[in-house]
Structure 1
Amino acid sequence: MRILSMSLIAAALLVGCQDDPAPTPADSGVPQQDSGVALQDSGVPEDDAGTDAGTPEDPLPSGPPVPQGPPNVPEFQPAFPGQTRVPAIQTKTALQVTEIASGFRNPWAIAFLPDQRMLVTEKATGSLYIVTQQGAKSPAIKGLPAVDARGQGGLLDVEVGPDYAQSGLIYWTYSEPRQGGNGLAVARARLVDGAQPAVEGVQVIFRMMPTLESTLHSGGRMVFTPDGKLFVTLGERSILEGRVQAQDVKSHFGKIVRINPDGSVPQDNPYLGNPQAKPEIWSIGHRNVLAAALDSQNRLWTVEMGPQGGDELNRPEAGKDYGWPTIGYGEEYSGAPIHQSTQAPGMEQPVYYWDPVIAPSGMTIYSGTLFPEWKDDMFVGALAGQALVRLMVRNDRVVGEEHLLKNLNARIREVVQGPEGALYLLTDATNGKVLKVTPK
């Protein structure tokens, strides 16, 4: 484990980024086309700026927003004040970034075992590792199923089961190769620890349906709730055949689903009484949700990738429609319009949106004690934005925004809060790193 100055880290990561081949098509910053539909998520890097923001008792932040480029769709105006470009804020605590481990090929997710070791997924290879706080990495865990690692597929999220102490179960999402295409799947198995770790009794508990041939917009974040339910975020596969199913309750595309840990359907799910609907569905009308977390009230929050413009922060509620592709704040990468309007009856507005986009992935809502000024703030990884985005939220509205760690020049794929209150990050590169953020 090494503790580096911010300047040394920035230099090292910049060299690494220059030596790496172009990022996967998922979010490389280069528009892609397929059947005339824009497929890729990108954005314009934004600079640090801001004014001090203090405790919740202090006045709300004021002043200019975080510097950013002009909006892609300037004719789309926010539906309410503070829906975009809120005042910039600035963390008062000096930050220390420690490199825990490196050498991961496009790592995607972190989950903590009870002894503070980490499970780390490697998207591109379909490998899962155990990493110690000292940076030692296990051999790849044996027994995981094959993945379709093209594009935005591969091995994605990982979570430790809520009953891990008794069952030893871990859960993961991945792009499952199938006859006629692929689809996101959720699997669980018992982790067998040791010099050569493995999983036993692999069970696929959920499969996104229908099967479709697409390498894009898989979704894949998981969140366990205190009552033992499991939220899973699902993309709409990007290509037109999938996009048009985002609001169709007969399809899993563009949905957030809620299941029990064994894959069965909770009896209070909102569409359970609709014989035409997939009973796992919680909410509809999403594009590609790669960030999700619970707040202090155990409510689900998500951040989803928009097209060119229109990344969204939402608080998905049971049975509600979040509008994609009917409404939104972005456009095709060709510049062609997607939406006639930003609002429509029966469709929810995002709590917040970004235009230009940050390409969000990974999210945590801070509840630790290492950074008292961050209490209840949201942290979102930014791929195209190459930053750790901090959102100050009051009464379910964003009131301040900060873009941290931009001097790393790194695509932040994952952010989680560790057991001791530090933030742990993954950088998305062919030499991806596990970084730890603590007070200096």
Structure 2
Amino acid sequence: MTTKPFLAAILSSTALLASCGSPTGGETTAQSTPAPTMGNTTATPMGEPQVTAFGTYDEPWAAAFAPGTSMLFITEKPGTMKFIDTETRRTGTVTGLPRVDYGGQGGLGEIAFLDSQRAATVGSRTIYLSWVEAGDSDTRGAVVGRGTLNCGTEDASCKIEGLETIWRQTPKVTGRGHYSHRIVFSPDERYMFVSSGERQKGTPAQDTSNTLGTIVRLNLDGTAAAGNPLAAQGSPSDQIWSWGHRNILAMDFDAEGRLWEIEHGPAGGDELNLVQKGGNYGWPTRSFGDEYNGTPIPDHTADDGFIKPVIDWTPVIASGNFFIYDGDLFAPWRGQGIIAGLKTQALIRIAFDGDTAREVGRVPMGERIRQVVQGPDGAIWALEDGEGGRLLKLTPG
């Protein structure tokens, strides 16, 4: 473990605003710098977060604390899951994982727990995962599974038992991008929302007979929830909550119960959206970005019939994920969205005001950031992208 000064001097403002110029939208992994060696705690300038490294991971993709504990679980895209007790620094590997179709943007994805199962030890509790599953004829798609995570108290062992697939992205298609497959639960934990990317196919996002380019609203067992806007159309349309999306890698509910999402645009046009029941967000018919080959895409207009982004970014930020901070350690940030920036190599802060929002600051990190989560004590934990991606803890300096 190493503690080091904050990285603000590493990046210039020009580097922070670098545009994403490839069809991956900034999502492909990149090599991280070597992990730091053991060292002493170093004081940082007043007002700058202190950054402490806690080890490295192989293409980390998602992370979540088991509610009520100091145990952080981390998925690695090739198909493994690790854990670290952030108080004792005990580490281990989780067994009982599914076989994943690894390649491109696909592999093992999201991890999610129910806050209602909060307890002082991990013990035995429900765990939700997403991953990419192979189909026939070189096709693949995202799936969500549910199982029971059992962790021993005397040894460094954790195992997922009874894992079953409860939802599948429909249809499976060729290609290895834009799975999305983020998971978030409604504040009352009655529903599970899953982002389903349009798989780099574009037009399915405007076709509500499939779930590509949508956010689906499900019961906790993966079945379509009652009251969805297209329920009368039957399966799989009855799963859909909103559509016209591209590649959603960030979702969270605010304190008022509003669902926000951030999605990757093409060459420009990353979006923060307030998710509405039955909302059509316009992709690929409208975007504030252009195609990667330079072909213009019509911008949103007041009368186009689509829901407009609350914030759009050009150059792109290429979000990894985001969460809305509700801790005390960074008290001035309470209620703000904290975004993991891949292309920007920064944490991006956004402030909400009812149904509106604005960017209010960036914290340079010097590497692509794949995931950010809030720790039990209000510290912010960040995962660097790529092979050897470091786990970093941010605390006030």
Q: What TM-score does the superposition give when structure 1 sets the normalisation length?
A: 0.78
**Structure 2 residue aligned with 1:40:** 24
Q: Pick from 233, 255, 268 the counterpart of residue 274 of structure 1.
A: 233
Q: Structure 1 residue 247: deviation in Å?
A: 1.5
For residue 261 of structure 1, what is the aligned residue in structure 2? 220
Match of 2:30 in 1: none
Task: Specify the code of the residue in structure 1 equivalent to 2:176.
Answer: T
* CA shift for structure 1 position 164: 3.6
Mapped contact 1:424–1:435 kept (Cα < 8 A): yes
Q: Which of 176, 193, 201 in structure 2 is aligned with 1:231?
A: 193
Q: Which residue of 1 aligns with 2:35?
A: none
Q: Which whole-Å CA distance do the structure 2 matches of 1:250 and 1:154 have between them?
A: 26
State the partner residue of 2:85. Answer: 132
Paired amino acid for 1:250:
S
User: What's 1:204 paired with?
Assistant: 165
Q: Retained in 2: the 8 A contact 1:163–1:169? A: no
Q: Is the 8 A contact 2:70 2:85 kept in 1?
A: yes
On the 8 A contact 1:42/1:308 being kept in 2, the answer is no
Q: Is the 8 A contact 1:371 1:439 kept in 2?
A: yes
Amino acid across the alignment from 2:100: V
Q: Which residue of 1 aligns with 2:3?
A: 3
Q: 1:344 to 1:276 in 2, by over 3 A?
A: farther
Which structure features the higher share of strand residues? 2
The answer to whether the Cα contact below 8 Å between 2:311 and 2:358 also exists between their aligned partners in 1 is no
Instruction: Please name the residue that 2:367 is paired with.
Output: 410
The CA deviation at 1:93 is: 3.3
Letter aligned with residue 244 of structure 2: G
Counterpart amino acid of 2:83? I
CA deviation map 1:144-202 (0-9, x unaligned) = 11111111101111011345459611001111112231100000111121333211101
C-alpha distance 432-210 of structure 1, shift in aligned 2 (>3 A): same
Match of 2:388 in 1: 431
Question: Which of 160, 174, 185 lines up with 2:113 in the alignment?
Answer: 160
SS of structure 2 residue aligned to 1:324: coil
| Aligned pair partner of 1:218 in 155, 179, 185 | 179
Deviations 1:195-248 (A, max 9, x none): 33211101111000101111000001111122221111111001xxx3111021
Tell me the equivalent position of 1:189. Answer: 147
Residue by residue over 1:387-430, the C-alpha shift from the partner in whole angstroms, topping out at 9 and shown as x without a partner, is 100112223322442111x2x31101111111211111110021
What is residue 36 of structure 1 aligned with on the other side? none
Distance (Å, rounded) in 2 between the aligned partners of 1:189 and 1:272:
27
Task: Read off the aligned partner of 1:327 and give its amino acid letter.
Answer: R
Alpha-carbon separation, structure 2, partners of 1:400 and 1:160: 29
Cα contact 1:249–1:276 (8 A) shared by 2: no
The 5 Å alignment of 1:46-85 reads none
**Aligned residue type for 2:378:** G
Conserved? CA contact 2:380–2:393, under 8 Å? yes
Q: Distance in 2 between matches of 1:130 and 1:41?
A: 29
CA 165–363 in structure 1, closer or farther in 2 if over 3 Å, else same: closer
Alpha-carbon separation, structure 2, partners of 1:423 and 1:40: 27
Q: Which residue of 2 aligns with 1:149?
A: 102
Aligned to 1:24: none
1:18 aligns with none
Contact 1:101 1:136 in 2 (8 A): no
Paired residue for 1:115?
69
Residue equivalent to 2:268: 309
Q: Any conservation in 2 of the 1:93–1:371 contact (CA below 8 Å)?
A: no
1:227–1:438 distance in 2 versus 1, CA, 3 Å:
same
State how far apart, in whole Å, the 2-side matches of 1:363 and 1:202 are. 27
Letter in 1 for 2:370: R
Rounded Cα–Cα distance in structure 1 between residues aligned with 2:333 and 2:127: 29
In the TM superposition, what is the alpha-carbon distance from 1:5 to its structure 2 partner? 2.1
Identity of aligned residues (%): 38
Kept in 2, the 8 Å contact 1:412–1:427? The answer is: yes
For residues 20-75 of structure 1, the C-alpha deviation after alignment (integer angstroms, 9 at most, x for no partner) is: xxxxxxxx9562xxxxxxx31039xxxxxxxxxxxxxxxxxxxxxxxxxxxxxxxx
| 8 A contact 2:113–2:126 mirrored in 1 | yes
- Mind listing any 5+ residue stretches in structure 1 that lack a counterpart? 14-27, 32-38, 44-91
- Aligned amino acid, residue 288 of structure 2: Y
Give 2:48's match in structure 1, choosing from 83, 89, 94: 94
Contact 2:268/2:315 (<8 A) preserved: yes
Q: Deviations over 1:228-278 (max 9, x none)?
A: 21111111001xxx3111021111100001111111222122221233762
Which has the higher mean CA deviation after the structures are superposed, 288-297 or 221-230?
221-230
- RMSD (Å), alpha carbons: 2.3
Q: Give the corresponding residue for 2:207.
A: 248
Alignment partners' CA distance in 2, 1:262 and 1:30: 39
1:162 and 1:224 in contact (8 A); partners too: no
Supply the AA of the counterpart residue of 2:192: L
Residue 309 of structure 1 aligns to a residue in which SS?
coil
8 A Cα contact 2:197 2:248, kept in partner? yes
1:327–1:343: 8 Å Cα contact kept in structure 2? no
- How many pairs does the alignment contain? 362
Matching residue within 241, 245, 251 for 1:286: 245
Q: Secondary structure at the match of 2:207?
A: coil
1:105-129 Cα deviation digits (max 9, x unpaired): 1101111113211110001x21111
Contact kept, 8 Å, 1:101 with 1:135, in 2: the verdict is no
How far, CA to CA, are the matches of 1:400 and 1:217 in structure 2?
25
